[in-house]
Amino acid sequence: MLFVELRFLPFFALVLLVHWALRAHTARKLWLLAASYVFYGAWDWRFLGLIIGSTVLDWVAGACIYNARGDRPQQRFWMTVSLVGNLGVLGFYKYWDFFAESAAQFTAWLGMPISAPVLNLILPVGISFYTFQTLSYSLDIYRGQLAPAKRPLDLALFVAFFPQLVAGPIVLAREFLPQLAEDRRWARDVDVKLALALFFIGFVKKSCIADNVAPLADAVFAAPGLVSTADAWLGLCAFVVQIYGDFSGYSDMAIATALLLGYRLPRNFDHPYLARSVAEFWTRWHITLGRWFRDYLYIPLGGNRGTALRTRANLMSTMAVSGLWHGASWTMVLWGIFHGTFLVLERTRVLGWVTRLPLALGALYTTLVWTVSMAFFRAESLADTRALLARAFVPSAASEGTFIGPSWAWPLLVCLAVVHVATRAGRLVERWTSLPAPVFGFTLGALVALALPWVSLRPAPYLYFAF
């Protein structure tokens, strides 16, 4: 079920009305848990067992870790149980076929072919997101930063909370469980104007922008070796717009729906295409994932505490794992290493100077790096990545295939860039939501009317559902 689908409106209206009609806090949480399971089950009921199993596993592991305070070996045992259980399920569904095929290819290259058992598994929607969330619960208890949830209901709702269940933001247990412990109040916990503004902005990003530029990107990536140089860059730029509109739009709508229910989710995007460096970009793009990798992988590896060489190795390792988290393919691993390389170089004299560039030049550099990296991120294979980059950097005047970029595409992309800058520099959202309620409502109605003609009639699945 997509936020931009018509069937989501009656579903959420029913959830919202019943939620606030119930007076008992426990009844509200039970209702939200049931709604979350229905929301997830709309894709495939069979995978609900994985969410419930993960919840039970970490409820038991968290309690055992906490009760074993002072007995570090016992705590490590139960932490290992949580890690093996959660990452084992994730690894099986997401990476089994990838590693099986890679092993078969490698042994064939060595002249010792084997028959690898490829299972063609279906990837459960959102498994990468809720696995990281449940792990944050056990890890924070292990570190002494969190006490276990008092009731299984709270942990179950934390894991399955439908606004961010399938594509984030990745919420940490220590920031969401305290909200579940307190009764929600409409007047205190709900900012209606902010919620409506965020949902509208997210809807426009996804349905009016991302879904409408997607065909441009799809056409180029379908035949990367046949397009002209101009169309290669158009396709890359279109995907840069699509992935931002798609994912940040989902995050905006997730935050808005949670806010209407009285819960606050962390911000996930902060105008990443205005970052002055790749390092700054990763503090603005998918902020909650970057935070997770920083807290639970980069810092445990040693972070910045060791030698310069060790720090660079930690950066490269973290980004390579991040790439593999995004997708089970070597193109994704190389995408992570590509970004890791720039993160390392920006800590040296080679690219350290970029942090001192004016905003416009720094943003241009960062966006160019991100745009080139999309050849790895979006392409179906390494061969397609090489073909597209060859077309992009070796001048070719005409397409050999049938794709020709529409004349309106480049002006549209320029306009979107201007809007991206204006919303940051002018703090337009803050100013809009500070208007009196009647003025805000009239403005919202007018903007909805202007946006309707641009709504895509073919909503595409969210890109991050595949991760």
Q: Which residues contact 169 (CB under 8 A, 6 or more apart)?
A: 251, 254, 255, 265, 266, 267, 268, 287, 288
SS3 134: helix
Nearest Cα residue to 455 out of 5, 2, 9: 5
CB 341 within 8 A of CB 320: no
Q: Do residues 251 and 269 make contact, with C-beta atoms less than 8 angstroms apart?
A: yes
- CA–CA dist 76, 139 (Å, integer): 10
What type of residue is 121?
L
CA distance 61 to 148: 10
Catalytic residues: 326
**For residues 116 and 101, what is the distance between their CA atoms, to the nearest angstrom?**
7
Cβ 242 vs Cβ 217: under 8 Å: yes
Cβ distance 155 to 58 under 8 Å? yes
Q: Nearest 5°: phi and psi at 133?
A: -65, -45
CA nearest 146: which of 180, 183, 190?
180
Q: Name the one residue in this structure whose structure tokens are 């009647």.
A: 438
Contact 433, 259 (CB under 8 A): no
Token pair for 41 = 């089950």
What's the distance, Cα to Cα, between the start and end of the chain in Å?
Answer: 16
Rounded Cα distance between 343 and 74, Å, is 38
- Residue 74: how many CB atoms within 10 A of its CB? 14
Taking Cα atoms as reference points, which of 310, 425, 408, 302 lies closest to residue 360? Answer: 425
DSSP string, 159-176: HH-GGGTTT-----HHHH
Asked if residues 323 and 334 have their Cβ atoms less than 8 Å apart, the reply is: yes
User: Which token pair is 211?
Assistant: 């879904």
CA 451 remoteness from chain centre: 25
CA–CA distance, 334 with 320 (Å, rounded to integer): 7
* Alpha-carbon gap, residue 138 to 68, rounded angstroms: 13
